[in-house]
Amino acid sequence: MIEGMKKTFIAGTGGVEAHIRVKLSGTTVITAGDEEDADGVTEFAAAEGENVTVRLINAGGTIECVAAGAVSAGASIYAAAAGKVEAAGTSVKGKAIDEATADGDVIECLLTA
């Protein structure tokens, strides 16, 4: 058993970008898709087969995420395509702590899934 806020995984098919939501796929992590739950958020980009540090969703605290567009501070956030977060959707995944003004902005979030 490992206790902690972060765990190292192997980046799966296509690799992963920094600050994106990822999910487990066998023994690797892959980018979580639109409206999919995530297991964590990457700290750095990693090519397929490389080690990548993932901050786990269930660890508590806040996490830096890539926004898919404008998001107001304090707004509910939802899972977007490419592992990003957005201001609209069908299932709340957390709250934005910071404001995003454009696609690609990295914002602090409190994630629940």
Q: What is the average pLDDT score of the chain? A: 94
pTM: 0.93
Q: Which whole number is the average pLDDT over 52-70? A: 94
Give whole-number Cα distances, 27 to 2, 8, 49, 54, in Å.
Answer: 16, 11, 11, 13
Structural domain spans, the chain: 6-59, 63-111
Selecting from 3.40.50.150, 1.10.10.10, 2.40.340.10, 3.40.640.10, what CATH number does the domain 6-59 have?
2.40.340.10
What does the alpha-carbon distance between residue 78 and residue 38 come to, in Å, rounded to a whole number?
A: 11
Asked whether residue 1 carries a pLDDT value surpassing 80, the answer given is no
